[in-house]
Amino acid sequence: MGNVPTTVKHCLSYEQLIEDYPWLRRWLQEDKTITGHAYPEFVKIVEVGPRDGLQNEKEIVPTGVKIQLIDMLSGTGLSVIEATSFVSSKWVPQMADHTDVLRGIQKASNVQYPVLTPNLQGFQDAVAAGATEVAVFGSASETFSKKNINCSVDESMLRFEEVINAAKKRQIPVRGYVSCALGCPHEGHIEPSKVAEVAKRLYEMGCYEISLGDTIGIGTPGSMLKMLQRVMKDVPINALAVHCHDTYGQALPNILTALQMGVSVVDSAVAGLGGCPYAQGSSGNVSTEDVLYMLHGMGIETGVNIAKVIEAGSFICSALSRKTNSKVAQARSTACCDESL
């Protein structure tokens, strides 16, 4: 260190480093660690069951049931519940009652109820119905974008820009989603740089958070790590969330990897609602109950009461006449002994 000016030596001290670069604290294991990794102390769960979950269920759920589900979820401690989608009912009949749902739910004061708004029309309808937060869905795959919303990624960004600008005028926060972050049903492998490009655009346009979605659940901790490493170069880690599908059973290890990288927002769906439209009969969204079980078991706080989520899950599964996809809910309902740990 002999050639380093005295004035600069001060800034090379460890304590000064930590103060100047808070991200370093995590890298240097100041926080709680398991296996040498620092984990967030708190994880925010974004509950997507009522929208992403129900949207992918075949049976049309009555409005009253949707409202009851959301009201039950509002009482569990969840702070974000994706309530519905202002998309054309011609495309998504399940969400045709979007206005009635948004107006019918009991909005808890400490809960946000984002709604999907694919375009300006949807946004205006959402605002008229009382929406206070919206979401837009981009894709890291050109083919998926064309097949899903009938336009290229660039064209979709122009649409979203209109929504985001309109939202800014009304001070309505916008969450951005990037689909196919770990693979596309049409294109196969997706380059992490493409995911980063789309995430960065959404972030720079004004989305406060970008949820990276493994749309077909094909990702593993290996591909999750590579993708996040690349995206984190362009979007701050505290603005990132992961939306993992459990189609190949990889959701929890993928989420664990994301937590190890510093992500502290996780999307999930009560009872694992919502299958995979690309693999008939397979599961889709990861179950909120299973995610909570893992997080709580690691000493990570979420503010959510798992027993109440299980109840909400049980309610919606009865209404849908289907079994839960949550292993925790299945085990708890039949376990002969109380294994609460």
Least distance (Å) from other proteins to the CB of residue 183?
11
Binding status of residue 246 toward other proteins by CB under 8 A: yes
Strand 174-179 with 115-116, pairing: unpaired
Q: Is 13 exposed, middle or buried (0-12, 13-18, 19+ CB in 10 A)?
A: exposed
Q: How far is the CB of 49 from other proteins (least distance, A)?
A: 16
The helix or strand, by DSSP H or E, that contains position 136, with its residue range, turns out to be strand 134-139
Query: Which of 180, 184, 244, 276 is the catalytic position?
Result: 276
The H or E element that residue 45 is part of is strand 44-47
Nearer CB in complex with other proteins: 107/308: 308
Among 2, 3, 5, 22, binds other proteins (CB under 8 A): 5
DSSP-derived 3-state class of residue 325: coil
Region of 3-11, 72-80, 144-152, 166-174 interacting with other proteins (CB under 8 A)? 3-11
222 counts as binding other proteins under rule CB under 8 A: yes
Q: CB 287 → other proteins: shortest distance, Å?
A: 7
Closest approach, Cβ 16 to other proteins, in A, equals 9
Q: Which residues fall within 8 angstroms of residue 112, CB to CB, at 6 or more apart?
A: 79, 80, 81, 132, 133
Instruction: Compute CA 208 distance to the chain's CA centroid, rounded to the nearest angstrom.
Output: 13
User: Which residues, 6 or more positions from 328, have their beta carbon under 8 angstroms from its beta carbon?
Assistant: 287, 289, 290, 292, 293, 306, 310
Contact flag: residue 3 with other proteins (CB under 8 A): no
186 in contact with other proteins (CB under 8 A): no
Specify whether 184 is catalytic.
no
| CB-nearer residue toward other proteins: 104 or 185 | 185
For other proteins, the closer of residues 27 and 91 by Cβ is 27
Question: Two tokens at 194?
Answer: 């493409």
Here the tokens at position 294 are 């893992």
Give residues 34-93 in contact with other proteins (rule: CB under 8 A): 34-37
Residues contacting residue 173 through CB under 8 Å, at least 6 positions apart: 133, 134, 167, 208
Selected binder of other proteins within 85, 223, 264, 268 (CB under 8 A)? 223
Find how far residue 232's CA is from the centre of its chain.
16
Note the helical H segments in 117-191. Answer: 120-128, 142-149, 153-169
Query: What is the rounded distance in angstroms from the CA atom of residue 230 to the CA atom of residue 244?
Result: 18
Q: How far is the CB of 181 from other proteins (least distance, A)?
A: 14
Site string for other proteins, 252-291 (x = CB under 8 A): xx-xxx--x---------------x-xxxxxx---x--x-
Q: Return the number of the residue (38 or 101) whose C-beta is nearest other proteins.
A: 38
Bridge partners, residue 340, by sequence: none
Total residues binding other proteins (CB under 8 A) = 65
Q: Which residues bind other proteins (CB under 8 A)?
A: 1, 5, 7-8, 10-14, 17, 21, 24, 27-29, 33-37, 185, 217, 219-223, 246-250, 252-253, 255-257, 260, 276, 278-283, 287, 290, 293-294, 296-299, 326-328, 330-331, 334-339, 341
